[in-house]
Structure 1
Amino acid sequence: MAFFQPSKPVTNLVASFLLLGLINISIVESRRHVLEGSDVSYPAINCRKHTAFLTDFGGNGDGTTSNTAAFQAAVQNLSQFADDGGAQLIVPPGKWLTGSFNLTSHFTLFIQYGAVILASQDEGEYPLIEPLPSYGHGRDGPGGRFSSLIGGSHLTDVVITGDNGTIDGQGSSWWDKFHQGKLANTRPYMIELMYSNQIQISNLTLINSPSWFVHPVYSSDIIMQDLTITAPVDSPNTDGIDPDSCKNVKIQDVFIVSGDDCVAVKSGWDQYGISFGMPTEQMIIRRVTCISPDSALVALGSEMSGGITNIRAEDLTAINTESAIRIKTAPGRGGYVTDIFVDGMNLQTMKYVFWTTGAYGQHPDPGWDPKALPKVDHIHYRNVVAQNVTMAGNMGGIDGDSFTGFCLTNVTIGLSDNPKKLQWNCTDIAGLSHNVTPKTCTNLVDEGLIECEYPKDLIPIDTVQLQTCSFTAKNQFL
């Protein structure tokens, strides 16, 4: 009797969904019932002296009543405790519909298990704000930006966490408007903190953002960890985490299914990013798993005009994803992508493993300078295992502006049943390689026993120890 033998792509796609199912099962199994009067503990950069529940401010968790005013009133009221030990706002079990609201300093937003913050689909619930100064224009169009669902600016010591509570961006209506060309302003992000420091976003499930999920910008000292982030793989611009002109950042233990890049490191767009001049630097990306058939596990750019440097990534996994590390830039960007260190990637079903392009030509307006050329140098990849790959490397710089300093060692790439005839396409790049299969292009010279560099010292955020914080539960889980 003949049996059906699924192709590798089918097998690996099934494996992707099985993995997602196992993760969801593990989440369910970890849930616990919390009785009224019992203590709930959680890790955070700082604990709070004062505690309040959203219901104390008229919150209604029926899934249809708007809680925008309740969230805004709660934050406003609790801001008075910023200089008296800070405050934590607990979102209890229920479905809490809300539009945009901002946080305050020395503040924790805690979303309990069984609680879902539901983003309103009413445009009127998201006040328009100016484009980011390092972008000049909105990403979806020349107009302004809708406020993020959860935001804040010029804050210190902000924690957004929970015991696997959920934030649901209800993005489908926004995606439809985007596809239909009905938006003059940029869609809301789920979480955006600007000009802030000491930020923690952790222990949450984030689903269906209208656009980017987590966007810290012009900020520093940031921990983003223990997150599950999911959106349909055909949803537009649903990047998982986008640190943008930020310093001292840790992204760790995150599972992402996305319609765009799982992690996108940015620093401003063309002449606006060059003028603003704030790089993204000192970052560790660790134990991230990505499923994104049309985008990258980690993208550097394309908005990188303020510079990207000293980025470390280790122990990464991608399944059914277009590429692993992708560098995206173009004439007009200026800036630099330098001192990038990657150690350990396990990849399954990829279009490309290494993808670098100097022709990513989206621009905010006609004012970009074609003579503003980016610098790409000192890019190190080591200890990479990949299976079911269509093309090992598609690597292109810019004519007259070669990308240099690449180093590849200990790379084993297993090809798909229908691989590209040309496995390495290398144009206007230069570097070294050793122990790479299939054999690299001549631009990446095999000089024998070399080992690509990976820093041994820790960046400052990697030394931060979280405290054990708590509150007393007010009601029983549903």
Structure 2
Amino acid sequence: MVFYQRSTLATLLFLGLIRFSVVECRRNLLLESYVTYPAINCRKHTALLTDFGGNGDGIASNTAVFQAAVQNLSQVADDGGAQLIVPPGKWLTGSFNLTSHFTLFIQSGAIILASQDAGEYPLVEPLPSYGQGRDGPGGRFSSLIGGSHLTDVVVTGDNGTIDGQGSVWWKKFNRKKLRNTRPYLIELMYSNQVQISNLTLIDSPSWFVHPVYSSDIIIQDITIRAPVDSPNTDGINPDSCNNVKIQDVNVVSGDDCVAVKSGWDEYGIQLGLPTERVIIRRLICNSPNGAVIALGSEMPGGIRNVRAEDITAINSQSGIRIKTSPGRGAYITDIFVDGMNLQSIDCVFWTTGSHGEHPDLSYDAKALPVIDRINYRNVVAEDVKMVGNMGGIDGDPFTGFCLSNVTIGFGTQQENLVWNCTDVSGVSSNVIPEPCDVLAEKGPSDCEYPPDPIPIDIVELKSCSFST
């Protein structure tokens, strides 16, 4: 039988400022209540946020508390790692970073409440694959929960909440008052073995979950909520990442529910880090101003081998949307979608080669993207305005589309033109209504969907616990 250890507060060292030494741990041998949860790895050491002076009244700032707790627990990274438990309460905080071999566990009834004070989010440099911030030419406000060059990091809970309190940031953005990019809710960079799960995330200032330059990522059992008119509140954006699983996620937001990216124009081309080997499964989406799944528009590192299955959406702008333009270069290829059930969708299949939105005027208009081998099968949609709006680039046609077993029903706001295809080519089978001539009938066979799993899909989570 394995006993899990719980820490007690170590001796306080008073050297002008209070510092914490490594939390000493003890074994819980008495009868106690245990919380169990699935994770990529379990931890030997446990501490509560209150061990470090945390105040859960929703008023007092806990920024220094979170920072001190993580710094303290980083010292046992090589001794089985540590888990920091956020107990019930409202824990106001600004930006803080995580560490390796570490779990942040947010209990049911606990809310990590993002400070609305911009001074609580230090400015950092633009991402190298973007060249500048997404909201303006300056840098970026640090994400609420961040980290870089980490290994084995878990952000999870038993449906605890992270509240980004984004309204003040949305107002600044809409009034064009921002030179620097708004904070993201969770952003992990240059990291591997990442898990984000079993949480409710609400009202991010901008993107909710942004793994970037990272690998071996599991994002599952997440609820994401933001007003449908909130700007750029994308749900999950894997960006120049490899081996990613996004599963059992429910998103209501003001932008794309899942957006797969890999940098921006010449900066992304120069860095050359693709996003590849991604599985998106059992996604539920509601986004009137965004796509259920977007590929791009920032994609000049390339996007390859993305799979989506068992996708559900209602009241969304588009089902699958491919967004690119001259200047992006690279490729979007080997995309496989199997099983979409859509209701009240403006356009089911939307592809555009003229998305624009360049970081500056230094992009190379001759850097044209390659779009090829895009497979959609087993798609049912009702109350649709338009089936397909599929446009490539003049002189750079998008090729290799395959559509099979697609049935689309229209609502009262049906467009006069239900298919629009320009500079694209491919094949189709059993598609209703009949597609464009450039999507030639190929007979009764289905479009391809790979039978072999990607590596992250066979990772088994361990059963971890702590005592309360």
What is the TM-score when the length of structure 2 is the normalising length? 0.93
Alpha-carbon separation, structure 2, partners of 1:248 and 1:443? 33
Structure 1 residue 449 displacement after superposition: 1.8
- The answer for the alignment partner of 2:460 in structure 1 is 465
1:390 aligns with 2:385: yes
Residue 58 of structure 1 aligns to which amino acid in structure 2? G
- The answer for the alignment partner of 2:331 in structure 1 is 336
Residue 245 of structure 1 aligns to which amino acid in structure 2? S
Deviation string, structure 1 residues 228-255 (Cα, Å, up to 9, x no partner) = 0000000000000000000000000000
Mapping of residues 415-426 of structure 1, within 5 Å = 415-426=410-421
Residue 270 of structure 2 aligns to which amino acid in structure 1? S
Structure 1 residue 118 displacement after superposition: 0.2
- The answer for the alignment partner of 2:114 in structure 1 is 119
- The answer for the alignment partner of 1:291 in structure 2 is 286
Structure 1 residue 369 displacement after superposition: 0.4
Equivalent of 1:93 in 88, 92, 95? 88
- The answer for the alignment partner of 1:71 in structure 2 is 66
- The answer for the alignment partner of 1:129 in structure 2 is 124
Equivalent of 2:317 in 307, 319, 322? 322
- The answer for the alignment partner of 2:274 in structure 1 is 279
SS at match of 1:234: coil
1:412 aligns with 2:407: yes
Residue 173 of structure 1 aligns to which amino acid in structure 2? V
The number of residues matched between the two structures is 438
Deviation string, structure 1 residues 181-230 (Cα, Å, up to 9, x no partner) = 11110000000000000000000000000000000000000000000000
Alpha-carbon separation, structure 2, partners of 1:472 and 1:447? 60
Structure 1 residue 402 displacement after superposition: 0.1
- The answer for the alignment partner of 1:19 in structure 2 is none
Equivalent of 1:231 in 187, 209, 226? 226
Equivalent of 1:84 in 79, 96, 108? 79
Range with bigger deviation, 417-426 or 211-220: 417-426
Alpha-carbon separation, structure 2, partners of 1:279 and 1:114? 38
- The answer for the alignment partner of 1:170 in structure 2 is 165
SS at match of 1:108: strand
Equivalent of 1:368 in 363, 366, 370? 363
Residue 357 of structure 1 aligns to which amino acid in structure 2? T
Alpha-carbon separation, structure 2, partners of 1:242 and 1:58? 34
Structure 1 residue 379 displacement after superposition: 0.1
Structure scoring higher RCO (CA < 8 A, sep ≥ 6) equals 1
Deviation string, structure 1 residues 359-414 (Cα, Å, up to 9, x no partner) = 00100000000000000000000000000000000000000000000000000000
Mapping of residues 18-33 of structure 1, within 5 Å = none
Residue 313 of structure 1 aligns to which amino acid in structure 2? A
1:450 aligns with 2:445: yes
- The answer for the alignment partner of 2:148 in structure 1 is 153
Structure with the higher fraction of residues in helix conformation: 1
- The answer for the alignment partner of 1:42 in structure 2 is 37
- The answer for the alignment partner of 1:432 in structure 2 is 427
Alpha-carbon separation, structure 2, partners of 1:113 and 1:187? 28
What is the TM-score when the length of structure 1 is the normalising length? 0.91
Structure 1 residue 417 displacement after superposition: 1.5
1:255 aligns with 2:275: no
Structure 1 residue 418 displacement after superposition: 2.6
Alpha-carbon separation, structure 2, partners of 1:393 and 1:416? 15
Alpha-carbon separation, structure 2, partners of 1:422 and 1:123? 47
- The answer for the alignment partner of 1:181 in structure 2 is 176
Alpha-carbon separation, structure 2, partners of 1:157 and 1:324? 33
Alpha-carbon separation, structure 1, partners of 2:166 and 2:188? 20
Residue 459 of structure 1 aligns to which amino acid in structure 2? I
Deviation string, structure 1 residues 40-99 (Cα, Å, up to 9, x no partner) = 000000000000000000100000000000000000000011000000000000000000
Range with bigger deviation, 380-389 or 441-450: 441-450
Structure 1 residue 447 displacement after superposition: 1.9
Residue 273 of structure 1 aligns to which amino acid in structure 2? G
Deviation string, structure 1 residues 319-359 (Cα, Å, up to 9, x no partner) = 00010010000000001000000000000000000000000
Alpha-carbon separation, structure 2, partners of 1:212 and 1:63? 23
Equivalent of 1:200 in 186, 195, 200? 195
Alpha-carbon separation, structure 2, partners of 1:356 and 1:444? 14
SS at match of 2:60: strand
SS at match of 1:395: strand
Structure 1 residue 37 displacement after superposition: 3.1
Alpha-carbon separation, structure 2, partners of 1:181 and 1:294? 19
SS at match of 2:108: coil
Deviation string, structure 1 residues 448-470 (Cα, Å, up to 9, x no partner) = 12210000000000000000000
Alpha-carbon separation, structure 1, partners of 2:282 and 2:222? 11
